[in-house]
Amino acid sequence: MLSIHVLRYRTTKNYDMDIECRNRIGFDFSEGSGKTLHGVNPVSNTMIPDKFFTATPEDVDEAMHKAQTAFQKFSTTVWEERAAFLESIADEMEALGDLLIHRASEETGLPEARIIGERGRTTGQLRMFAQYIRTGNWVEATIDTAIADRSPVPKPDLRKMMVPLGPVVVFGASNFPLAYSVAGGDTAAALAAGCPVLVKAHPGHPGTSALVGEAIIKAAQMHDMPDGTFSLLYDNGFAVGQALVGHPYTTAVGFTGSVGGGRALFDIAAKRPNPIPVFAEMGSTNPVILLPEALKARSKEVAQEYAASITLGVGQFCTNPGLLFGIRGEELEEFKSHLKTAFIGTNPGTMLHEGIGKAFMQKSNKMLSEPDVAVLVESDKEATADQVRPTFATTKGSEFIKNPSLHEEVFGPFSMLIECENIDELDHCIKALHGQLTGTLIGEPDDFENHTALVYELQQKVGRLIFNGVPTGVEVCPSMMHGGPYPATTDSRFTAVGIHSIKRFLRPVAYQNTPHPLLPGPLKNENPNKIMRLVNGTYTTEPV
């Protein structure tokens, strides 16, 4: 018989899918205190009737104890098993079929095509990590063999590798219901590292979270992963998140969201008796520098490209270009004129949920009320009550330098052109910037040759420097750096995208004079998997 807490759906393909409405405490369930939350369709502004139980601090404690108990077995699973587990999560997500696509689209207002693309990215990330952990290179094996006759003292045998930190807490992101939520990048990296994961579902998409959560549980059971490897908790307030970050067993936190939210979690983690790292990806205005020769050569093309980038996904990408900088003159006027033409026809859109839409209205209005800030162009398309209208503002470089409010991110389809008097003022503007995920330079070869100092200054502020492109579109590959100095993230030394994001959840351990049978596999003399190791100062895939 079907549990009363499971909603059975008949998919368009004529098979049944279940949505579990309770918190997942490992393989068990909890109704918490009995309070519930529900999703809202932001396009129709109607409540989605399915109710999800919010967790209690006791649920958090139980899930953390399970995670801590699961840690030993899970962290010492052989790589092949963990890789297969990750691949099965991807398979199970795909098996959810249209139900997942419909539900994610319904809960976020994002078009189905976008959700389908995001699902591809999410399953791609899971499979990428499966492949990566099989290589063994992620343990960064380093070996220095003994020198027994060294004077004055013998050199011991020392071998070092990365090991998982322990249970990791992941906060689902509103703007990526799949790729940065329940089985998103943070979860995939932490599980790949060998860390049990506890996800706090984003309250904006509980049904999507539940579906993906069940995919993970199913995969965990299929591969005999220990109970507690994964838990999923719901809350539409702060108590569960705070309890998760403050719990003694938590060893790291992944978060994508606002500066306010990320900083609050960072502060809780920093005040713990034993502080833990928080990897919060937060606010970024992703500055774009328009250099004069480029505008001379192709201002129309750039204007069109940027009108599209700014409004992509209703401006809800963390790499949305919020600030454009140019130097006053004929070229910039021409660019503005092209931008107006291209931008006026952009489409209004519905933001992820009502709260984000309201915040957009409030923040964009506040920005437009700052001294010397004016609207350059707005979309003139008709907008329904739930939609927001793309807006492009303009201000002066001197204002930008002196008014800190102009540096704040307006999350959504809002950008601002900063018109500088000259290259010196532009340089000052860049120096005044906060840390950013990305910085973009639009220039011709002559531009770069004339302004090498600008290129350097911008690099100091960013995690990714882009030449002649748009910052939206984050390639998932080893050389991606998705991160940057504060407030783009709370830790500029790590990327949140790509294989190297696993580094966030690992720490090195050295083994001294360890009897060979007791050495972990990657540090034994034999090297059957041909791991790249640093042996006595030289990189090699050979055995010792």
Q: Are the C-beta atoms of residues 201 and 180 closer than 8 Å to each other? A: no
Catalytic site includes residue 195 = no
Half-sphere exposure (CA, 13 Å, Cβ side) for 16?
5
Q: What's the N-to-C CA distance of the chain in angstroms?
A: 59
Quote the least distance from Cβ 434 to a copy of itself, whole Å: 8
Quote the least distance from Cβ 355 to a copy of itself, whole Å: 26
Q: Are the C-beta atoms of residues 411 and 359 closer than 8 Å to each other? A: yes
Q: How many CB atoms lie within 10 A of CB 189?
A: 33
Nearer to a copy of itself by Cβ, of 184 and 439: the residue is 439
Q: Are the C-beta atoms of residues 178 and 118 closer than 8 Å to each other? A: yes
In the list 405, 509, 525, 543, the residue contacting a copy of itself (rule: CB under 8 A) is: 509
HEC per residue, 62-102: HHHHHHHHHHHHHHCCCHHHHHHHHHHHHHHHHHCHHHHHH
Site for a copy of itself in 250-269 (CB under 8 A): 266-267
In the list 95, 297, 423, 534, the residue contacting a copy of itself (rule: CB under 8 A) is: 534
Q: Are the C-beta atoms of residues 252 and 195 closer than 8 Å to each other? A: yes
In the list 418, 490, 502, 527, the residue contacting a copy of itself (rule: CB under 8 A) is: 490
User: What distance in Å separates the CA atoms of residue 416 and residue 322, rounded to the nearest whole number?
Assistant: 6
In the list 80, 301, 380, 475, the residue contacting a copy of itself (rule: CB under 8 A) is: 475
User: What distance in Å separates the CA atoms of residue 63 and residue 56, rounded to the nearest whole number?
Assistant: 11
Query: Which is nearest to 144 in space by CA: 130, 155, 154, 133?
Result: 155
Site for a copy of itself in 75-94 (CB under 8 A): 76
In the list 12, 46, 362, 479, the residue contacting a copy of itself (rule: CB under 8 A) is: 479
Q: Are the C-beta atoms of residues 439 and 458 closer than 8 Å to each other? A: yes
Site for a copy of itself in 421-440 (CB under 8 A): 434-435
**What does the per-residue mask of binding to a copy of itself show for 514-533, with x meaning CB under 8 A?**
xx-xx-------------x-
Interacting span for a copy of itself (CB under 8 A) from 56-64, 195-203, 302-310, 485-493: 485-493
Element (H, E) at 127: helix 112-135
Nearer to a copy of itself by Cβ, of 364 and 490: the residue is 490
Nearer to a copy of itself by Cβ, of 95 and 116: the residue is 116
Quote the least distance from Cβ 539 to a copy of itself, whole Å: 5
337 binds a copy of itself (CB under 8 A): no
Nearer to a copy of itself by Cβ, of 35 and 298: the residue is 298
459 binds a copy of itself (CB under 8 A): yes
Site for a copy of itself in 201-230 (CB under 8 A): none
239 binds a copy of itself (CB under 8 A): no
Q: Describe the strand order of the beta sheet including 252-256 as a list of residue ranges.
A: 28-30, 23-25, 230-233, 197-200, 168-171, 252-256, 278-281
Tell me the H-state helices in 440-526.
445-450, 452-461
**What Å distances lie between residue 9 and 6, 14, 91, 315, 341, CA to CA?**
10, 9, 19, 32, 46
**What does the per-residue mask of binding to a copy of itself show for 136-155, with x meaning CB under 8 A?**
-x----xxx--------x-x
Q: Are the C-beta atoms of residues 432 and 420 closer than 8 Å to each other? A: no
Catalytic residue among 20, 87, 281, 293: 281
Site for a copy of itself in 58-77 (CB under 8 A): 72, 76
- 3-state secondary structure (DSSP) of residue 450: helix
Catalytic residue among 21, 318, 420, 429: 318
Residues in CB range of 252: below 8 A, 6 or more apart: 165, 166, 168, 169, 190, 195, 276, 277, 278, 279, 504, 505
Interacting span for a copy of itself (CB under 8 A) from 28-36, 39-47, 394-402, 482-490: 482-490
Site for a copy of itself in 270-309 (CB under 8 A): 270-271, 274-275, 277
User: What distance in Å separates the CA atoms of residue 421 and residue 188, rounded to the nearest whole number?
Assistant: 47
Catalytic site includes residue 31 = no
Residues in the interface with a copy of itself (CB under 8 A) total 73
Q: Are the C-beta atoms of residues 420 and 325 closer than 8 Å to each other? A: yes
Quote the least distance from Cβ 82 to a copy of itself, whole Å: 17
Quote the least distance from Cβ 212 to a copy of itself, whole Å: 24
In the list 492, 521, 529, 544, the residue contacting a copy of itself (rule: CB under 8 A) is: 492
Interacting span for a copy of itself (CB under 8 A) from 236-244, 330-338, 376-384, 464-472: 464-472
User: What distance in Å separates the CA atoms of residue 67 and residue 230, rounded to the nearest whole number?
Assistant: 7
Interacting span for a copy of itself (CB under 8 A) from 209-217, 232-240, 306-314, 471-479: 471-479
Active site residues: 281, 318
